[in-house]
A and B are shown apart, each in its own frame.
Chain A
Amino acid sequence: MATEARRDVVVLEARAERAEGGWRPAVRAASLAGVVVAWELATRLGGIPAVFLPPPTAVAAELLGMATGGELWRSLQASLVRIVLGFLLGTGAGVVVGTVAAVSPLAEAVVDPLIAATYPIPKIALLPLLVLWLGIGEASKVAVIAIGAFFPVAVGTMAGIRGTDPQLVRAAVSLGASPFQVVTKVRLPASLPVMFAGFRLAAGMSLLLVVSAEMIAAATGIGFTILHAGDLMQTSKLLAAIVVLSALGVLSTWGLQALERKVVRGRPH
């Protein structure tokens, strides 16, 4: 009697593909909501005194009060003007200096050691000096933010321009591009992604410096509000101002991302 050989049959069939990671947005939202709820419960039921940690609902109410009373807008405006001016001045100078230093060996030799020596200085340490030079008004605060925003952009622009694929430069030159056109039509567009990394760092730096500067030498702004609320033990106001800072940080990141998507073309995002 012939024994039948054992046969294994494996069939791979089509199956409906589930969208990968479809649960992600829900978990992300729940993560944030979970912390807020736990915080609310801890403060309401856990007996934590409100002066140490007020519940989120109290912080929200405080924020609403600041918004309707106009205080929120006044300090937000003061801070935003400083941030925007300082950011634009600093990043603008960073792009120009970074480009020139990357393109001209002489400028590189002049600028490189200066940047290497000054980049590591915590910029807030310069504030008293700037106040001495520019006065206690807006100029010194804008200046410290501009200095903070300058470095990451200058360094990023330099790296991007120097690191441009030499083949692209060769291609451009072989097609008749002048040295100036090589910079404007090849090196700068090729550097945009690295420059945007610099812009993101500069935005974070601007936020950090505006708050520090306002804590040291201002009578307006979010930083001042935080310090003042702390002195008066107005903890929910203090926390409301911190929430505003968090929102500012998130919004500036989103704004830069949107701008980058618009400006940086031809690469998968």
Chain B
Amino acid sequence: MTTTDLAVPDESAPVRRHALSRRHREWGLAYLLLLPALLVFGVFTFYPFLKNFKLALYQNPPYPGLPSHYVGLSQVGSVLSSTSFHQSLVSTFFYVLMVVPVGLLGGLLLAIAAHKAIRGMSMFRTAFSSTVVSSVAVAAVVFGTLMDPVVGLLPWLGIDPHPAILQNPTWALPAVSLIAVWQFLGLSFIIMTAGLQSLPDEILEAARLDGAGGWTMFWRVTVPLLSPTLFFGLVVGTIYAFQSFGQIDILIGPQNSGFTHTNVLLYYVYQALSIQHDPGVAAVLSIVLFIILLVFTLAQMRYLERRVTYAAN
């Protein structure tokens, strides 16, 4: 008995050493293969990301060409307390609030409509999802024409928009958000279709047999079952909405974005950097944007974790 006890470590030791060295070799290879990606991310993502935090601590002089100087957190404080920042935050808030729910609900309704097995439905599916691949510039030009005060849709209907929609402090923000909704609809449709297709048919059939009508079916069965998908869409849509830039720049421009209340956060970053040549302010603004999106993403992870029991059923 004693001998066998002794024999065990004697035999296993070389095996373990061998396994260890093999694992080391695998790790080495793994890092080697990761190196190109690490380099690219490091140079184009991580370094600028960290540099941005440093920029936020330096104030730029009012005239270009002079050196910036370290001011610590005072610049952060002054930006966060400025009215133009508050206005931008409010605009962003309303903008996201218009784009995301409408885009999600629209995508869901289109997905439900296209979920039926009807001949020729694939044509509609292609059409519904096509906005994903259309460029924002093209969309902006098309919608810009539709909203034109002279040749657009409203004059054609006999309504004289005055001031023009895109110069109107009330309507400019809904107008640009409409373009974002239109563009997000395709992605939303694809996400919702994928979600719907993964739902077990039998649960929906059981609900039909149990007497659920269209309304109950939608709100009490489909939507709860789709909630992980909806939440995913919510996060993707929010990130998408926060990053809107193209149609504002093309249709409104830096001069008009202020008084038309279309100065959303990302556009404000652009303005601070490229129009006002103030990298410090731009850095502070982009950190705010980063924190908002980070909170959203973390919330999603927490939420989806709670939903794991769903998938296990």
Partners in one complex: no
Write the residues of chain A forming the contact surface with B, with a CB cutoff of 8 angstroms: none
